[in-house]
């Protein structure tokens, strides 16, 4: 068994170089594979002229890849939107709020208020998720209450086993 000499950090230079290389590769991943790190936000019938995009990039971490306690990768996400109507034209609403939800809608997280011409920055830590922008009264509560104006799927949410879906297995849940 190998044991480094006391007072000497075995492999510290190589470890630092490897860590910096991994960070550089991770940070540039969105430029190398843009389709995997870009979520097109599509309009609903409530606001047909609206559009947007959410750009994902791996969150920085001193350990290479940032993960939460459950082991899900943490992504930095930045939103830009255009064509959103005034919220008041959709009802008794005064703001737009961005949300993320697991693909089964079992857990929802508010990301922040979306303002015209500004970029919203937040973080997401789901493996498969949806991005939703809704019209809300105030800053919104724990879950959205207003109409959905934009929605999009993270690329990982597109990886589904359709044999487990009722529609594709003769109507019988598995």
Lookup: tokens for 34: 């843009």
Q: Stretch 39-54: mean pLDDT, rounded?
A: 92
Q: Stretch 84-108: mean pLDDT, rounded?
A: 90
Q: Which of 135, 133, 136, 137 is nearest to 150 (CA)?
A: 133
Lookup: tokens for 168: 């594709």
8 Å CB contact between 93 and 105? no
* Run of H or E residues at 144: none
- Higher model confidence: residue 1 or residue 82? 82
The residue extents of the domains of the chain are 36-167
Q: Stretch 149-159: mean pLDDT, rounded?
A: 81
Q: Give the separation between CA 42 and CA 60, rounded to whole angstroms.
A: 28
* Beta-strand runs (E) in the chain: 38-43, 51-58, 75-82, 95-102, 108-114, 120-124, 129-136, 148-153
Question: Is residue 84 helix, strand or coil?
Answer: coil
Is the dihedral angle over the CA atoms 38, 44, 48, 50 positive or is it negative? negative
pLDDT at position 12, please? Answer: 55
Q: Which of 112, 55, 114 is nearest to 83 (CA)?
A: 114
Does domain 36-167 fall under CATH 1.25.40? My reply is no
Q: For the segment 115-147, what is each residue's pLDDT rounded down to a tens digit?
A: 877 899 999 988 888 899 999 998 767 788 899
Q: Stretch 26-33: mean pLDDT, rounded?
A: 50
Highest mean pLDDT range out of 9-18, 55-64, 154-163? 55-64
Per-residue pLDDT at 8 exceeds 60:
no
């Amino acid at each position: 068994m190998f044991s480094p000499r006391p007072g000497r950090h075995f492999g510290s230079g190589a470890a630092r170089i490897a860590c910096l290389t991994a960070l550089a590769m991770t940070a540039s991943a969105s430029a190398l594979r843009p389709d995997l790190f870009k979520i097109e936000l599509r309009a609903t019938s409530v606001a047909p002229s609206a559009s947007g995009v959410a750009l994902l990039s791996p969150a920085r971490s001193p350990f290479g890849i940032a993960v939460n306690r459950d082991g899900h990768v943490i992504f930095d996400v930045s939103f830009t939107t255009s064509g959103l109507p005034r919220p008041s034209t959709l009802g008794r609403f005064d703001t737009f709020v961005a949300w993320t939800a697991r693909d089964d809608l079992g857990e929802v997280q508010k990301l922040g208020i979306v303002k015209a011409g500004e970029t919203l920055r937040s973080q997401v830590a789901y493996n498969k998720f949806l991005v939703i922008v809704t019209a809300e009264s105030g800053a919104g509560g724990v879950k959205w209450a207003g109409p959905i104006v934009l929605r999009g799927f993270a690329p990982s949410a597109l990886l589904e086993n359709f044999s487990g879906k009722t529609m594709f297995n003769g109507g019988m849940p598995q």
